Amino acid sequence: MTRRAARTDRNHAEIRDGLRACGVIVKDTSNVGGGFTDLVAAYRGRVHLIEVKMPGEKLTPAEEKFHGEFADCADCLHVVYSLEDALYAVGVME
């Protein structure tokens, strides 16, 4: 069985690289599939699961399922639409 290449949103690289530039440890997990988040980020001893979306875009059914499975981790599971959203999500900006 062949697996198609994972598609990333146009703002994905900007958000990933912008977080890294602010001292956030970021692992790009966009190729994992199965609804897993696009980024795993660590900042000040906390781990954050980050789904990157373009403005107006919704979660896929697989992403919704993943988010449901991790509902107990709602404070570390984020959907972001911009670098600013991501910086607030991980606590770089307050």
CATH number for the domain formed by residue range(s) 12-90: 3.40.1350.10
Q: How far from the centroid of its chain's Cα atoms is residue 31's Cα?
A: 12
- What are the b/e assignments for 64-79, b being 16+ CB within 10 Å? eebbeeeeeeeeebbb
Domain residue extents for the chain? 12-90
Residue 92 to residue 14: CA distance in whole angstroms: 16
Which two structure tokens, joined as six digits, stand for 87?
Answer: 């910086």
pLDDT of residue 6: 60
pLDDT in tens, the chain (94 residues): 444 446 788 999 999 999 999 999 999 999 999 999 999 999 999 999 999 999 999 999 999 999 999 988 888 999 999 999 999 999 999 8
User: What single-letter amino acid sits at 86?
Assistant: A
| Residue 69: its H or E element | helix 61-69
